Amino acid sequence: MLDGHLAVGWLPLACIVLASLPGPGAAYFGLTGNEPLTILPLTSETEEAAVQICDRLKLERKQRKMCRRDPGVAETLMEAISMSAQECEYQFHFERWNCTLEGKYRASLLKKGCKETAFLYAISSAGLTHAMAKACSAGRMERCTCDEAPDLENKEAWQWGGCGDNLKYSNKFVKEFLGKKNSKDLRARVDLHNTNVGIKVIKAGVKTTCKCHGVSGSCTVRTCWRQLSPFHEIGKQLKLKYETSLKVGSTTNEANEATGEGEIAPPKKPVTGHSDQIPRTTDLIYMEDSPNFCKMSKFSPGTFGRRCYKEKNCESLCCGRGHNTQSKVVTRPCQCQVRWCCYVECKQCTQREEIYTCKD
Ligand SMILES: *[C@@H]1O[C@H](CO)[C@@H](O)[C@H](O)[C@H]1NC(C)=O
């Protein structure tokens, strides 16, 4: 999994990171990237740690200022990074590119501008938007709290209450934090587009949740609040968008080619699943075809040694090179029963299992 500095240096939206991963020896507060996503309340000690995080993240000047002005921001950034990274690994677990986040591969991939790059931009902005909105409603931020009530038409029947996730503040924060002006550079605009797709997916997933009150749950009064989708759901949607992402080219002519200026143009080939070829603001877009990720390259370690699932993905994951089969005896708890009161009793079952891994 991730080690400390990988997790820290990962967030592409902070762009930041590419050139400036923490050097050797930076064990970085002992973070492993596998920390539970609960955040401890801030003390003066953690406040100091927060300032250190802001300095280590290689933020731009304005970003660092935003990071330091509210101690909750640093922790929320860390949480966003680890959440996005874990979700990326989860979504790409069965793919040739398994979201390898090791520094050298990540840097090359972020430079390239392919589908995987698009996904990374979107998942990280989605992660930050999600984490920030949750941090507000969880009371971890100084500058925001719960979502505010919208203007309601029918005030008697239900009340706005509870503590909604504060997407409004979170959106404002993320936009300001990323703060990119409309760039003329096509690649920068593609990145910004994909960043915005991530934010939009969060917005689209907001649901109103209600709880009934009144005599024996008669629901004469309801309290309602806005709630974000679980981040797994967001990851799933972005993975689907990755699969249907659109290749864009530049409509540059000779006059502006040198500056990279030009409009984002439709792809040359029609893409299945899209009735038109013009990318919508909710589509992920990319400019270059992906490397095949089969063999070791600067983009990935290749698929040698990856575990695959026979009849499912060995053929494609191993790129036709075949797989090794290893037989293993595994012991697992089985036939578990809940006993009064209150523990679970299981038998131990031993079973032979085949493990398949890709050949070199
Ligand atoms: C991805 O695959 C490589 C081997 O190609 C492996 O070393 C690495 O641990 C995998 N990463 C994850 C997150 O599963």
Q: What range does the domain containing 329 cover? A: 317-358
Q: Which pLDDT score is estimated for 70?
A: 86
Residues 331 and 222 in one domain: no
- Is residue 334 pLDDT above 50, yes or no? yes
Residues 209 and 331 in one domain: no
Indicate whether 2 belongs to any domain.
no
Q: Which pLDDT score is estimated for 194?
A: 95
Indicate whether 139 belongs to any domain.
yes
The average pLDDT across 20-47 equals 38
Ligand 1: residue whose CA is nearest its atom 6: 306
The average pLDDT across 205-217 equals 83
Give 251 or 252, the one with higher predicted confidence.
251
Residues 272 and 186 in one domain: yes
Amino acid code (one letter) for 330: V
The average pLDDT across 56-62 equals 82
Residues 44 and 178 in one domain: yes
Ligand 1: residue whose CA is nearest its atom 9: 1
The average pLDDT across 219-230 equals 86
Q: Which pLDDT score is estimated for 246?
A: 95
Q: Which pLDDT score is estimated for 38?
A: 35
Q: Which pLDDT score is estimated for 339?
A: 82
Split at pLDDT 50, 70, 90, the class of 265 is: low
Select from 2, 98, 120 the residue to mutate for testing ligand 1; criterion: most ligand atoms less than 8 Å from CB.
98
Q: Give the Å distance between the CA of 276 and the centre of ligand 1.
A: 37
Ligand 1: residue whose CA is nearest its atom 11: 100
Q: Give the Å distance between the CA of 27 and the centre of ligand 1.
A: 21
The average pLDDT across 165-176 equals 91
Q: Read off the pLDDT of residues 95-114 as tens digits, 9 standing for 90 and up.
A: 999 998 787 888 888 889 99
Residues 231 and 158 in one domain: yes
Q: Give the Å distance between the CA of 185 and the centre of ligand 1.
A: 33
The widest CA-to-CA distance across the chain, in whole angstroms, is 79
Indicate whether 70 belongs to any domain.
yes
- Is residue 61 pLDDT above 60, yes or no? yes
Indicate whether 38 belongs to any domain.
yes
Residues 260 and 338 in one domain: no
Residues 249 and 352 in one domain: no
Select from 100, 293, 298 the residue to mutate for testing ligand 1; criterion: most ligand atoms less than 8 Å from CB.
100
Residues 250 and 343 in one domain: no
Q: Give the Å distance between the CA of 159 and the centre of ligand 1.
A: 49
User: Quick check: 298 and 108 in contact, CB under 8 A?
Assistant: yes
To the nearest 10°, report the CA torsion of 131, 175, 126, 171: 60
Compute the distance between CA of residue 189 and CA of residue 257 in angstroms, rounded to an integer: 15
Count up the domains in the chain and report the number: 2
Domain of residue 341, CATH code: 3.30.2460.20
Compute the distance between CA of residue 9 and CA of residue 31 in angstroms, rounded to an integer: 12
Q: Read off the pLDDT of residues 80-93 as tens digits, 9 standing for 90 and up.
A: 988 999 999 999 99
**Which range has the top average pLDDT, 5-9, 29-33, 151-155, 184-188?**
184-188
Residues 129 and 195 in one domain: yes
- Is residue 19 pLDDT above 50, yes or no? no
Which pairs from 133-136 meet CB under 8 Å and 24+ separation?
Answer: 133/165, 133/166, 133/167, 133/169, 133/170, 133/202, 133/228, 134/165, 134/228, 135/39, 135/72, 135/75, 135/76, 135/79, 136/165, 136/166, 136/169, 136/170
User: Quick check: 291 and 118 in contact, CB under 8 A?
Assistant: no
Indicate whether 5 belongs to any domain.
no
Q: Give the Å distance between the CA of 56 and the centre of ligand 1.
A: 26
The mean-pLDDT minimum among 245-254, 271-280, 307-316 falls in 271-280
Q: Give the Å distance between the CA of 98 and the centre of ligand 1.
A: 6
Q: What is the 3-state secondary structure (H, E, C) of 87-102?
A: HHHHHCCCCCCCCCCC
> What are the beta bridge partners of residue 224?
160, 210
Q: What percent of the chain has pLDDT over 90?
A: 42
Indicate whether 3 belongs to any domain.
no
Q: Which pLDDT score is estimated for 358?
A: 97
- Is residue 73 pLDDT above 80, yes or no? yes
Q: Is the CB of 306 under 6 A from ligand 1?
A: yes
Residues 287 and 170 in one domain: yes
- Is residue 240 pLDDT above 90, yes or no? yes
Q: Give the Å distance between the CA of 190 and the centre of ligand 1.
A: 28
Residues 341 and 209 in one domain: no
The mean-pLDDT minimum among 213-227, 271-285, 318-332 falls in 271-285
This prediction's pTM: 0.78
Q: What percent of the chain has pLDDT over 70?
A: 75
User: Quick check: 86 and 129 in contact, CB under 8 A?
Assistant: no
Q: Which pLDDT score is estimated for 128?
A: 94
231-263 per-residue burial string, b: 16 or more CB within 10 A, e: under 16: beebbebbbebbeebbbbebebeeeeeeeebbe
Ligand 1: residue whose CA is nearest its atom 5: 303
Q: Which pLDDT score is estimated for 263?
A: 60
Indicate whether 107 belongs to any domain.
yes
- Is residue 6 pLDDT above 90, yes or no? no
Q: Is the CB of 89 under 6 A from ligand 1?
A: yes
Q: Give the Å distance between the CA of 317 and the centre of ligand 1.
A: 12
Q: Which pLDDT score is estimated for 9?
A: 36
The mean-pLDDT minimum among 184-188, 194-198, 199-203 falls in 184-188
Indicate whether 312 belongs to any domain.
no
Residues 231 and 334 in one domain: no
Q: Is the CB of 98 under 6 A from ligand 1?
A: yes
Q: Which pLDDT score is estimated for 44?
A: 59
Give 38 or 135, the one with higher predicted confidence.
135
Average pLDDT score over the chain? 79
Q: How far is CA 307 from the centre of its chain?
A: 24
